[in-house]
Amino acid sequence: MGPLNRIKVVELAGLGPGPMCAMMLADMGATVIRIDRTEPDADAARRRPSLSFDLKLRGRRSIGLDLKNPDAVECVLRLVEQADAFIEGFRPGTAERLGLGPDVCLARNPKLIYGRMTGWGQTGPMAMTPGHDINYIAITGALNAIGRRGQPPSIPLSLLGDMGGGSMFLTQGILAGIIEAKVSGKGQVVDAAMIEGVASLCTSYYGRWASGAVRPERGTNLLDSGAHFYEVYECADGRWIALGANEKKFYDELLRRLNIDPFKIGDHLDRANWEDGKKILAERFKTRTRDEWCEEFSGVETCFSPVLDFDEAPQHPHLQARGTFVSIDGITQPSPAPRFSRTPSEISMPPQAITPENTDKALADWLSRPQIDALRAAGTIK
């Protein structure tokens, strides 16, 4: 019974950020029905994990439809008539060619929020150009800024473009649109482009760049591994720790715990001292294992943490106390976020296969039993 428990969403199956948006809406209680292909793309299927591990598909059921079939398109439009929101992540113009563009859908449901997820946006000279996360973060300036001095830009998984600039902004746009539609009675189109989401995430850095506080060369600034007190260090066992001791009080306590004379490094905000500071801290952290340093800094205010992998993170005492991760069918995965005090989110179900039983359950929230039977008899649903 999450905060969206009365919201209904139709999702056209896609890759990456669209499904992540649908997952978050489902986690928050929305009833989401996913329209999948009857014949999945073979190349995409090879790159995707098996269904049980494709965690972005949790929280909703799917039905298989051939959208080249006019009856299947009409089926989707009947669902759209009841929906609060619609999600599609095709190249610009594809949904229109299928007969499921925003004009058609809004004609059937004037209050609908039609969410469109693309990398480059619906318009512009690159709108039809293929691309992936790495391309979208590259063109916004973000990729160039991530990495170490003298090294190539570092690729931050697909977290920044697909999930941060894509899923989060599409989710925000859909929710804002739903709120506004409750007031105006009118729907609208949400054009969520990853390039604009990433650019928005970089707002503070653009301000610092304009002020001259950020140097053009990556790995030479306060938060990009340039500073010795905002850095990762290898320990005696080959594992790593992370420091974020920006403020003087945290920095002073860090040096005290490491038994390092502050005058040996000098003013911690003076860039001229950063390289020597790194050498001194690197040498000191190499003298103990990561867990020994964790014990040394336990309860100490220095902005210190271990660098954990995906096996270790769910075992961390703080994350366990918070319930940050949950195990479903033996698969550990992040719990829904954020938290709600009165209407908590939940993972209602793991990823579901398209079966006759699950198809019936998926459609039960939208259509009557005779309507479902008629679609099956006509071969519209597979």
Q: CA 246 → CA 28, 93, 136, 225, 271, distances in Å? A: 36, 48, 30, 12, 13
CB 22 within 8 A of CB 34: yes
CB 344 within 8 A of CB 22: no
Question: Please, is 121 exposed, middle or buried when counting C-beta atoms within 10 Å of its C-beta (0-12, 13-18, 19+)?
Answer: middle
Q: CA 203 → CA 138, 161, 213, 215, distances in Å? A: 16, 15, 14, 16
Q: Residue 252 CA to chain centroid, in angstroms?
A: 36
Q: CA 164 → CA 21, 120, 147, 343, distances in Å? A: 10, 15, 18, 25
Helix spans in the chain (H): 17-27, 42-47, 70-80, 94-98, 102-108, 133-139, 142-145, 168-184, 194-201, 203-211, 248-258, 262-265, 274-285, 290-297, 317-322, 356-364, 369-377
Secondary structure element (H or E) that encloses residue 327, with its range = strand 325-328
CB 201 within 8 A of CB 142: yes
In b/e form, how buried is each residue of 26-55, taking b as 16+ CB within 10 angstroms?
bbbbbbbbbbbbeeeeeeeeeeeeeeeeeb
CB 77 within 8 A of CB 67: no
**Residues noted as catalytic:** 132, 162
Q: Which long-range contacts (CB under 8 A, 24 or more apart) does 145-152 make?
A: 145/202, 145/205, 145/214, 145/218, 145/224, 146/218, 146/224, 147/218, 147/219, 147/224, 147/225, 148/218, 148/219, 148/225, 149/217, 149/218, 149/219, 149/220, 149/225, 149/226, 150/219, 151/219
